[in-house]
Amino acid sequence: MITVIAGKYRLQDPNQKNNCGSYKALPGLIKLFSLGILFFTSCENDIEKVNLLKAKKKLPIETAKTVEIIYSDSALMKAKLQTRVLEHYTGKPPYVEMPLGVRMFFYDGDEKVNSTLTSKYARVLQYPDNNIMEARKDVVVVNEKNETLNTEHLTWNQKEEKIVSDAFVKITTKDEIIMGDGLESNQNFTKYKIKKIRGTINLKQ
């Protein structure tokens, strides 16, 4: 492209000719052409970098849509996970990613829902051997008393049936709002402890 543009706009001195019988290019053209080569080389390098980054981008080996996973113990349903997209990646460690988030239901001994968990992103590392799920982005847990936990990050341990967060948390109950950093709770969100309380707002009138 640079060659075509340079040829179209070439400036000539009619009193000077080169050995081939054509007019010599003026110094300005030489500078323009040199800059053009540098620009073209730079563009090529940038394109190569973009293509290299695209090639390195990891793609899932499996993708599934509208997925429902049942977690059970001794034929008793403990939890149910629903997601619109599930992607399985290899590597060290392998993992499963749910880029559009999850909706989870936790059950009591009578297989009745007693808490829910939703988030806009989730993943499970070292799938399928790891029983720990990480939830991020607008994570909300609600128990049977309608008490609500809001945070941006937490982990759910299936084996221990625990929810843990090291991020900022806000718990809203009928009587108060409690804010703090870090939390440990059972998965039913009926027994919980905030690691460091920042403040409390009384909702009673």
pLDDT in tens, 114-139: 999 999 999 998 777 778 999 999 99
CB-facing half-sphere around the CA of 53: CA atoms within 13 A = 6
Q: Is the pLDDT of residue 45 over 70?
A: no
**Given this model, what pLDDT does residue 13 score?**
38
CATH code: domain 62-202 is 2.60.450.10
Range list of β-strands (E), 94-203: 95-98, 102-107, 113-119, 121-125, 132-143, 148-157, 162-172, 176-186, 192-202
Q: Is the pLDDT of residue 178 over 50?
A: yes
Q: What is the mean pLDDT of the chain?
A: 79
Domain ranges of the chain: 2-56, 62-202
| pLDDT band, very low/low/confident/very high, at 74 (cuts 50, 70, 90) | confident
DSSP per-residue codes, 5-64: HHHHT--EEEEEE-TTSSEEEPHHHHHHHHHHHHHHHHHHHHHHHHHHHHHHS---SEEE
Report field, pTM of the whole predicted structure over 0.75: no
